[in-house]
Amino acid sequence: MSNHPQRRPLALVTGASAGIGAAFARELASRGYDLVLTARRRERLEALAAELESAHGSHSTILVADLNQAGAPAQIAAELDERGLGIDLLVNNAGYGIPGHLRDQDWPVHRDFLQIMVSAPVELAWRLLPGMLERGHGRIINIASVAGLIPGTAGHTLYAASKSFLVKFSQSLALEYRGRGVNTCAVCAGFTLSEFHDVNGARPLMNRMPKWIWLQADRVARDALGAVERGRIVQISGLLYKTIYLMTKYLPDWLLLRMSARRSRHFRVQVAQPLAERQAD
């Protein structure tokens, strides 16, 4: 724990209104943390805050923010400073996916995506690191994905790329600051039950996938918190996804890319084309 005067450790969770973000908030509250919850939907954050206070006596500060706005990370940091809140643990969780090929979307759609998935996590870490270093203790968890560890696919063009960036960013950050009390961990989960697939239009396909491939969000959160405390830099949740990752280390690139191309064609037919047709209606 940090030596700052706050009564309880404090964690900031982005994208906290549902899914993995809400699971992190619940797990952290059960471990004695107070929370700063940020997302776009105030009513969901307020409901979660009430739940955490009732169940664990955890106090939550709600900061409504849309991280696709370039000024949002600075605004969050300024509000934290104004309230005298020092963050001990940052969970960069906010994110989503864009189905289809690169030219299927206008550039502002991709620009906003990169702001949320790449720029915002880096800027929040940059702004909160000084306080962690001053106190000699901090934790940063970046929610990446197994998609960032294996070959990319056609469709969802920027998703795997953004997650790969978070993995490399986390590795560098961990090596730079672990000697000063700040641990960083990239969490690489696979398919996890959440609203993610409703947002990107992939729910019909996801519902046809076998149940055994799915991870529970609360398990991902528990695994991640244990990993960052142990100083693990990359955490892969679930035996299935650890196996998939190991396979990519030993199979030749040409075979992996061929498998990826087949999976991409299947996704295009099952998800991206029907979604485009619905949007055109």
Which residues participate in catalysis according to the annotation? 159
Contacts of 195 (CB under 8 A, 6+ apart): 18, 19
Q: How far is CA 281 from CA 183, 205, 274, in A?
A: 48, 20, 11
CA 8 to chain centre: 24
Cβ 235 vs Cβ 190: under 8 Å: no
Give the Cα separation of 109 and 175 in Å (integer). Answer: 33
What are phi and psi for residue 120, nearest 5 degrees? Answer: -60, -45
Give the Cα separation of 5 and 248 in Å (integer). Answer: 47
